[in-house]
Structure 1
Amino acid sequence: MNKLSQPRICLVEDDEIMGESLCDRFELEGFQIDWHRKGMDGLLALRKQHYDLVISDIHLPDISGDEIFIQLLDEKLALPPYLFITGYGSIDRAVRLLKLGVADYISKPFDLDLLVEKVHQLCPVQADAHGNGNHISDTLGISPIMRSIENSIPRLAKLASTILITGDSGVGKEYVAQLVHKHASKDSGAPFVAVNCGAITETLLESELFGHEKGAFTGAARSRKGVFEQAHKGTLFLDEIGEMSLTMQVKLLRAIQERCIVRVGGETTIPVDVHLICATNRDLKNMVEASTFREDLYYRIHVIRLRIPQLRERKEDILWFAQLFLKQCAQLSGENHVISPSAERVLLDYEWPGNLRELKHSVERACILSHGPMLLEHDFFDDMSLPLPDYGAMEEAGTADGSLTSYLRECEHKFILQSLRHHLWHFGNTASALGISRKNLWEKMKKLDIHADKSIED
């Protein structure tokens, strides 16, 4: 896009992390952005330069953002749409500013994607006159939403050094991360290193991320590179980042900001150059508000967010992926199978709480258990023959004391217990079927007093 045709934003923000995040994101969205860290600098710029939009913090080191706005009104300048963002939300101030003509007043922490959507509404970017002739492959699916995500990846991969992928467990976040890596890396041999932050204890996670020197702790018989070093000049994929402790979040933030690490037990600073992709199935914004996830780390990794919808939200992809997994099974076994029309209907009607992971396991199971080349519905779901939980009985038992919490606890207890018994107490398969992590399954079992080593009555 020609720079002359790009809308211009004036950003007045004294927070370095917030300012960098907003600049990075809006440049990717096709805007020119001038960032002023002091209120007076922003005021002078708005007097001299034409802008299409203003985004301003309220609390600034010299004069406040609303004082700038009122001063410009007093000078009777023609102002562009004006957005305020602040970590000190005040209803009275918001009402007063909105009455004066401010376009919106947004409290921190906010959803960056919603802010971007608001900015596009107030200040649309013209489409590239040359259009986009990129061919869209079917790597991520054939549904419109997944085609749209895939179409955006080549551009985002080349421009954004940090991407956050969100979505429920099993939706295919690592597939997306691998595709981003493919487009981001100029060298086809660049490493792609993935680590599940929720599957490693805190004591081991630091060593996994940053490596350790010989003798750093008991059992450290030799030096070892961590995943940051292993992914140097490539992509590091941190899955389940929402499970990371606050202590580890501080260390991760330092590594991202300084682009260097120090191994456990070491003193030497080691520079690292990685394309960082983080993923989570949790609501990090709510975690920030609950003080269980650092706000500065949130904005650092949330420059670009890709939300991957649940499989049941994109039913067009169900049979497409089923056929893909069927071909993979055929390559391994040498046997070809066909999904019957009745089984296709069942696959489309099923909710898929475990998303793509559950679909893949179901197809593999059907190929193993089928008695011929035609796959029938019972080949995919042996638990279809099991009775559904007796929710009427649960309601009577769970609501005797009038407590909704007691009722929901009883429902969850019976549902998880039934799934555990069905999967012969295999925690990995049970967690996948439930669409949660193994760690979350263990936590729920502990909370609900479910034990694998003794019989639990229904």
Structure 2
Amino acid sequence: MGGALALRLELDGYACDWHKSGRSALADLKSGRHDLVISDIRLPDLSGEAVYTSLLEQGQGIPPFIFMTGHATVDQAVRLMKRGAVDYLTKPFEPEVLLAKLRELSACREGGAAVSRLGISPSMRAMEDLLARLAPHDASVLIMGESGVGKEVVARWLHGLRHDGTDRPFVALNCGALPESLMEAELFGYEKGAYTGALKARRGLLEQAEGGTLFLDEIGDMPLAMQVKLLRALQERRIRRLGSETDIAVNFRLIAATHQDLKTRIEQGAFREDLYYRIHVIQVRIPPLRERREDILWLARRFMVESAVAVAAGAEGRPLLLSPAAERALLDYAWPGNVRELKHVIERACLLTQGPMLSAELLFGKASKQPKSTLEAPLGDWLSSQERAYILQALATQDWRVQDTAKLLGISRKNLWEKMKRLDIRRKGEEPS
């Protein structure tokens, strides 16, 4: 159990030292470098309680202890809690119970525990540090990054840092997913009778985000007319519903995201420069997965653990494993769809596997030997070919329904049409446009 639990904690971003005996753990704990101890009561040599007592007798500060055992008694639990133990878990228990306790302890510790939710690469750790510094402030944030890198995940992470433990709203809108005719009503709301079909008043997203976060994804696709109205709302912190003559005060933090170069959009006359500077107070760039390869296997294993299918499929309840060839294939692939594509690949393999090991063939298909194409062809050509193959696969799974495919890929219908045109993607027998 110890090895599986250590793996589960590492996949959630915790750095773990696993010891198979009490004496080994006690020697390591004397270094004073640990933030928390999870110990079984029954160990091969010393008991967990004996380890705890030995540290107490040293007269120095010790990290919090969480004890676990399959042989719990009320007296033992009370005795340990009175002596300072943080918690006491009776086996069997769900890992999420332990993880919830760790998150609670991390939030209470000054400075927090070294837990990463976004990645283990230096670039992602640096980004987490930046987000932690931004969290207490209400300045607008612009998140830049390719499709699929996890811009909404980062936005939600920042929102969680800012409003941890509170029920503040996180309201999201993909600006490329709605036609201009509907966007104003969606953002600003409307009064009863404002237009045909408005049978009752409705709060817009700017009102719904009160006291929390408004996340506008793909803001580069927002129509110019709506950009003017959004800018005014940000400047005045007041809005007016459709069909109303009364202003309503609003208070929210804006986080915007885009995969486009907004300066280029400004030059093209498609984006307002004044709005750009309004939302560009702080810029956060999420690097594509190919630039942070340290995260690939970490994310893959995390997706395996998160999948209920993976947990059920593991032999005797053990988590699934990646074969050495599968690890090489994951690392060699360029991931044009970034983290979203990686998650889809892992989830598909978890559904199809019949054993505890995920192979390269299961991940990519027997005919899909992943070439080291970044060395055999120009990077741009390689990325385009992989992007084309990825979109074709997504279209096939959705029976070529563009709207459904765009939703699956996490991009707007307009964006998907543009990619299909650029990459010459069309259904068999369809004439070029």
The interval holding the TM-score normalised by the smaller chain is: 0.5 to 0.7
Preserved contact between residue 158 and residue 184 of structure 1 (Cα < 8 Å): yes
1:175 — aligned with what?
153
Aligned length: 307
Alignment-mate amino acid for residue 344 of structure 2: H
Residues of 2 paired with 1:417 and 1:332: CA distance?
Answer: 26
8 Å CA contact retained: 1:419, 1:430: no
2:278 is the counterpart of 1:295 = no
* Residue 206 (structure 2) aligns with: 228
Q: In 2 relative to 1, CA 376–327 (structure 1 residues): closer, same or farther, beyond 3 Å?
A: same
Q: After superposing the two structures, state which structure 1 stretch, 263-272 or 354-363, moved more.
A: 263-272
- Find the aligned partners of 2:387 and 2:150 in 1 and give their Cα distance: 28
2:285 to 307, 311, 326: 307
Q: 1:441 — aligned with what? A: 416
Change (3 A) 1:235 1:319: same
Deviations 1:106-161 (A, max 9, x none): xxxxxxxxxxxxxxxxxxxxxxxxxx955442111000010011012122121242
Cα distance in 2 for partners of 1:368, 1:315 equals 25
**What per-residue deviation string (whole Å, max 9, x for no partner) do you get for residues 181-202 of structure 1?**
1122266111111111111111
Residue 172 of structure 2 contacts residue 214 of structure 2 at CA under 8 Å; is this kept in 1?
yes
Equivalence for 1:382? 365
Q: Decide whether the 8 Å contact of 2:395 with 2:402 is kept in 1.
A: no
**Residue identity matched to 1:156:** L
Report the TM-score when normalising by structure 2.
0.64
TM-score normalised by the chain length of structure 1: 0.60
Q: Report the alpha carbon displacement of residue 250 of structure 1 after superposing the two structures with TM.
A: 0.2
- Kept after mapping to 2: 8 A contact 1:420/1:426: no
Over the matched positions of the two proteins, sequence identity in percent amounts to 53
AA partner of residue 441 (structure 1):
L
The Cα offsets for residues 208-230 of structure 1, whole Å up to 9 and x where unpaired, read as: 11111112222211111111111
Give 1:278's aligned residue.
256
Q: CA RMSD in A?
A: 3.3
**Pair 299,387 (structure 1): closer, same or farther in 2 beyond 3 Å:** closer
Alignment check: 8 A CA contact 1:357 1:432 kept: no
- For the residue of structure 2 that corresponds to 1:145, the secondary structure is helix
Provide closer, same or farther for how the CA distance between residues 379 and 456 of structure 1 changes in structure 2, counting only shifts above 3 A: farther
Q: Deviation at 1:351? A: 0.5
Unaligned runs of 5+ in 1: 1-131, 389-406
- Counterpart in 1 of 2:354? 371
Q: Is the 8 A contact 2:149 2:288 kept in 1?
A: yes
Q: Which residue of structure 1 lines up, in the alignment, with residue 189 of structure 2? A: 211
After superposition, the Cα gap between the structure-2 partners of 1:332 and 1:223, relative to the gap in structure 1 and judged at 3 Å, is: farther
Structure 2: which amino acid aligns with 1:339?
L
Aligned equivalent of 1:325: 303
Counterpart code for 1:150:
E
Alpha-carbon contact 2:394-2:409 (below 8 Å) kept: no
- In the alignment, structure 2 segments of 5+ residues that lack a partner are 1-109, 315-319, 372-380
Describe the shift of the 1:452–1:220 C-alpha distance in structure 2 as closer, same or farther (beyond 3 A): farther
The code of the aligned residue for 2:324 comes to P
Other structure's SS at 1:276 match: strand
